[in-house]
Structure 1
Amino acid sequence: MKKLVYLALSLTLGVSVANAQTTAPVAASKVVTNGPAISFAETKHDFGNIKQGDVVEYTFNFKNTGNQPLLISDVGVTCGCTATDFSKEPVAPGKSGYVKAKFNSAYKSGMQNKIITVKSNATAGDAQVAIITNVIVPTEASAKPADAKKN
């Protein structure tokens, strides 16, 4: 009989503990950081295949999900083939800004993964976004004019 009472008590306690740990998920848009916070809509953009010499660009949009103004102080790139532009004015809480990346594929070939580091006053520190592409080098046959192929 004692065993039955302990078993029932254990089951009841186990169910209570399990129910206590399930909480309703908090929507990401409702989370507010104390201080400035940068949240990118997308942290990676893949251009797919491009031809050597093509110049491509992409704008990464972000939102300040904190409760204080966000200020980007600098945007760093991994090589001179990538140029950037960004929101220069402070971004108020709940408002959006941008980081634009421009990649010049001249003299590049194969897979490229360019990391852009966004330095700001965000409480979480620096943020990173990336552009990815595969640079296709034209072959000799495709680089010649059409008339030269006929001879």
Structure 2
Amino acid sequence: MKKLILSLFASMLLTTALFAQAQTGSGTANPADAKVKFVKETIDFGKTELNKAVTIDFEFTNISKEPVLIETARASCGCTTPKWTLEPILPGKKGKVTASYSANGVGQQNKTIWVKFKGIDQDKELHLTGTVTAGSK
């Protein structure tokens, strides 16, 4: 009886894994991963002082055989402003998403930028982390 239950459980896990892989098409975590390769998807800006702006570039390469275009990028809060390469990025060429963060809160920070590529329904997530200190007085 235990073997039967274990076999059923293993079958359910395998079916779930195969279904999840089928949902993403090629088995990649995000369809954008088949078109672009980011140098880093999470960047830690380290420490900064309160009310000092931090600017980070998320650089990527077009690894597909066709041009890619960023339609839009949006941030998880109003304190982070994304800008991006506006023209189509040709195969093998580089593009970037620049995130400017206005450090207006003390403590550990974790901001998300969602990047929408043309022809891809799922946004690509980028993360900006770091610590904001009160600074010297």
Specify if TM > 0.5: yes
Alignment equivalent of 1:120, drawn from 102, 117, 120: 117
Q: Does 1:88 align with 2:86?
A: yes
Identity %: 31
TM-score (norm 2): 0.70
Q: Which amino acid aligns with 2:114?
A: T
Cα distance in 1, alignment partners of residues 66 and 83 from structure 2: 22
In structure 2, what is the equivalent of residue 100 of structure 1?
98
Could you tell me which residue of structure 2 aligns to residue 132 of structure 1?
129
Query: Counterpart amino acid of 1:117?
Result: W
* TM-score normalised by L of structure 1: 0.64
| Contact 2:39 2:59 survives alignment (8 Å) | yes
**Does structure 1 retain, via aligned residues, the 8 Å contact 2:74–2:81?**
no
Query: Within 5 Å, which residues of 2 pair with 1:2-151?
Result: 37-106=35-104, 108-121=105-118, 123=120, 125-138=122-135, 142-143=136-137
Moved over 4 A (4+): none
After superposition, the CA RMSD in angstroms is 1.9
Instruction: Decide whether the 8 Å contact of 1:37 with 1:122 is kept in 2.
Output: no
Task: Confirm or deny: 8 A CA contact 2:44 2:129 kept in the other structure.
Answer: yes
CA contact (8 A) 1:44 1:132 kept: yes
Residue type matched to 1:74 in 2? T
Aligned residues: 105
CA distance in 2, matches of 1:49, 1:103: 12
Q: Which residue of 1 aligns with 2:6?
A: none
Bigger share in strand: 2
Q: What CA distance in whole angstroms lies between the structure 2 residues aligned with 1:123 and 1:60?
A: 19
Q: C-alpha offsets along residues 10-29 of structure 1, whole Å, 9 cap, x if unaligned?
A: xxxxxxxxxxxxxxxxxxxx
1:38-68 deviations in Å (ceiling 9; x for gaps): 2101111111121111101011110111111
CA distance in 1, matches of 2:58, 2:93: 14
Where does structure 2 lack aligned partners over 5 or more consecutive residues?
1-30
For the residues of structure 2 that align with 1:37 and 1:125, how far apart are their CA atoms?
13
Deviation (angstroms), 1:126: 1.9
CA apart distance, 1:121: 2.3
Separation in structure 2 between the aligned mates of residue 50 and residue 62 of structure 1, nearest angstrom: 25
